[in-house]
Amino acid sequence: MRILIVVALLAVSGRAQPRQFELKAESPKFWDLFDQGAKLDKVATGFGFTEGPVWDPKGFLYVSDEEKNKLSRVYPDGRVETVLEIGDPDGSTLDPQGHLITTASVLRAIIQVEPDGKYKVLADKYDGKKFNSPNDIIVGPDGALYFTDPTLDLPKGEKQETPFQGVYRLGKDGSVRLLTSDLAEPNGLAFSPDGKRLYIDDTKQREIRVYDAGAGGELKNGRLFGKEEGRGGVPDGMRVDVKGNLFVTGPGGIWVWDPDGNHLGTILMPESTANLNWGDADYHTLYITARTSVYRLKTKTRGFVPGGGAPPW
C-alpha cells in the first residue's frame, strides 16, 4: 500500500547518508534464518511504487506498480512484461486453482486477471455498499480469499460508503463476510502455518494484531502481537515461514518476529519497503517490493505458501 510520508529534514551540516542493506540481529535466532554474509540482489528497477508481489510456479513474479498503474511479470533475470494496465493495483495472490487475484483500488474491487490480460470483478460491495479501497489479499486455510479494506487509496472525489475499515472473507460461492471492523487502518495479513492464527497489521496504529481463527474465518481474541515504531516505514505487507516466523515490512525495512512476538531482527533496506513474498522453486527466497525496485534475498528458511511452498492445510 502506498503511504505518503512527509519528512522534514533539519540538518546543521552535511547530508543524510543513503540507506544501505544490512541484516541487523536482535537475537541469535535471527541467524537461523539468514547467512551473515547474505547479499541483497536488485532484480529489476524503474518502477513508480512497487507492491503486491506473488510468485507464480511457472517461474516469475507478479508485481503491482501503483504509480504507473500496471501489473507486471518480473522474471528472475530482470525481464519485465506488462500483464494489465489498471488504476492503482495493489495486493495479489494465486487462488487454489492458480488464478491471479488482485485488489484494484480504482475499482474498489477484487478482480481475477485472465491470461489474455482481461479481468473480471469477483466482489466490489458488502451489504450493498462499495468497498473502500481493497488492499492486501491472501488465501486462507479453507481456500477462501481474505482481504483488508482500508481507506488509504479511496479514489479521489469518491465517498466512503461503509462506516468502517474492514477485514473480509470472500467465499468460493462469491459471498462476502465481514470478519472484523475493529482496526483503525487494516493493511497486510497472513495466516500462521497451522491456520489457527490470523495476523493483521494496523498501519495507523503501527501495530501487528493477532486473532484466533476458527472454521470459516471466525476471528476471536484479538490482541496486540507487536509494535513497529521508528522512522522510515510502517507496518504494511507480511508473510510467514514454515516455522511460523513473521516477516513484516516496517521502519527501515523488514522486521522479523518469532511466533511468540519476539523481535528477532530487521532486514534494513536501501528503499522504503512495502511488501514481500516467497519465491523461486524451493521458496527459500524473499522477493521484496521497495519503492522503485524489486529485490531478492536468499534465506535459510522456507516460506509458507498454501499449496505451493509447503503442503496445504
CA distance 60 to 74: 6
Q: Are 198 and 166 in contact (CB under 8 A)?
A: no
Which candidate, 206, 232, 234, 229, places its Cα nearest to that of 20?
232
Residue 56: Cβ within 10 Å count = 14
pLDDT, position 17: 57
Grid cell for residue 117: 490480460
CA distance 71 to 86: 8
Per-residue pLDDT of the chain (313 residues; tens, 9 = 90+): 555 433 333 333 344 456 899 999 999 999 999 999 999 999 999 999 999 999 999 999 999 999 999 999 999 999 999 999 998 999 999 999 999 999 999 999 999 999 888 999 999 999 999 999 999 999 999 999 999 999 999 999 999 999 999 999 999 999 999 999 999 999 999 999 999 999 999 999 999 999 999 988 899 999 999 999 887 788 999 999 999 999 999 999 999 999 999 999 999 999 999 999 999 999 999 999 999 999 999 999 999 987 544 433 3
pTM listed for this prediction: 0.92
Please check whether residue 7 lies inside any domain of the structure: no
Please check whether residue 305 lies inside any domain of the structure: no
Q: What is the CATH number of the domain that holds 171?
A: 2.120.10.30
What's the structural domain count of the chain?
Answer: 1
Residue 158: Cβ within 10 Å count = 12
Please check whether residue 2 lies inside any domain of the structure: no
Please check whether residue 1 lies inside any domain of the structure: no
Q: Whole domain around residue 167: which residue ranges?
A: 22-298
Please check whether residue 141 lies inside any domain of the structure: yes
